[in-house]
Amino acid sequence: MVTNEHTAAIRAAGLRVTRPRLAVMEAVDAHPHSDTETILAAVRDTLDGVSRQAVYDVLRALTDVGLVRRIQPSGHVSLYETRIADNHHHLVCRVCGTVHDVDCAVGEAPCLAASDDHGFHIDEAEVIYWGVCADCVAASDAPE
């Protein structure tokens, strides 16, 4: 059961297990790459009356301890996901804003090894691929 996994993860992160934290983890799992409003609506389906501020606070706490990842493609609101165990990347549609996971960047460009690490111990590379999704391409090709 997902709730048991979330309970264990929250405890392991040193946080107290609360109904709002469990509800937010389940909502983010069910709706990856969702904004706060979508997560709030999903949480309210489970916990009627939970405040907007409570959801914001939970998202911040879960992000701070690394249980939730926040991404913010340029020009977009923050989006959240629970896929945190790998260094995956994202593909964003310029038209509708749809976001998809991309497991690994391959090839020569974009490069993932910094030409000069300036003494940093690099542990992550964030790549966002931009383009137009198949649905939006099909819609733009449709006769009017």
Complete DSSP assignment for 52-93: HHHHHHHHHHHHHTTSSEEE--TTS--EEES--SS--EEEEE
Residue 104 in marked binding region: no
Can you tell me the distance from the alpha carbon of 113 to that of 102, in angstroms, rounded to the nearest whole number? 18
Residue 37 in marked binding region: no
Number of neighbouring beta carbons within 10 Å of residue 59:
22
Go through the chain and tell me how many residues it has.
144
Residue 93 in marked binding region: yes
Can you tell me the distance from the alpha carbon of 134 to that of 87, in angstroms, rounded to the nearest whole number? 25
Write the CB contacts of 41 (distance below 8 Å, at least 6 apart in sequence): none
Residue 108 in marked binding region: yes
Binding-site sequence positions: 93, 96, 108, 133, 136
Binding-site sequence positions for Zn(2+): 93, 96, 133, 136
Binding-site sequence positions for Fe cation: 108
